[in-house]
Amino acid sequence: MLRSNQTDEELMALYQEGSEEAFKALYSRHSGKVFGYLKSRLSSEQEATDLFQEVFMKIHKSKHLYNKSLPVLPWIFSVTHSVFIDGIRKVERRREDFGVDLETHAAPSGEPAFASISSLLMDLPGNQEVAIQMRYVEEKTFEEIAERLKTSPVNVRQLISRGVKHLKGLAKEGDKP
């Protein structure tokens, strides 16, 4: 049974032992701070919400890594910051890989960037389209893609590299008046 005056550290110890109530108490105490941190650093509430969910999934998956001799709140924010940085890197990597700014690139009709890139994807040869879709949308590993396409991870890397080059060319053609 939880007491209302238990410290974060006591709650975390109980959570590590499997107490769902201890997690609920920690979540109740700190979820607003975590969401506020993310929302103040991101341009959209949807991005903040997505990363917020990732933070608590990562906390759950790594609760056994928490060092009981340290305060809980800095550990939670360490996890939060790590998830935030990973989220930023993921977006930047996609921008670099596709050679376009995914936030501002739009089709001539004014449709959203994703729709524009999706239409470009359809112009790729079959395996390139599938490999890029699996890598960047489904976030599959090269090994998982290779297994599905019945080829080697090295070949998957080549398919993706060629596909990205092809996409860059298509995107540049689409930007011409």
Domain ranges of the chain: 8-96, 101-175
Question: Number of H helices and number of E strands within the chain?
Answer: 8, 0
pLDDT interval class at 99 (50, 70, 90): low
Copy the structure tokens of residue 19: 């107490």
- The pLDDT of residue 170 is above 60: yes
Pick the CATH number of 8-96 from 3.40.47.10, 2.40.37.20, 1.10.1740.10, 3.40.50.620: 1.10.1740.10
Q: What's the Cα-to-Cα distance from 65 to each of 9, 24, 61, 79, 90, rounded to whole Å?
A: 13, 19, 9, 11, 24
* Of 15, 95, 29, nearest in space to 61 by CA: 15
Residue, of 92 and 42, whose pLDDT is higher? 42
Mean pLDDT, rounded, for 116-126: 64
Residue 105 has pLDDT above 60, yes or no: no
Residues with Cβ within 8 Å of 74's Cβ and at least 6 positions away in sequence, in order, are: none
pTM beyond 0.75, yes or no:
no
Angle at 149 between CA 146 and CA 155, to 5 degrees: 50
CATH number for the domain formed by residue range(s) 101-175? 1.10.10.10
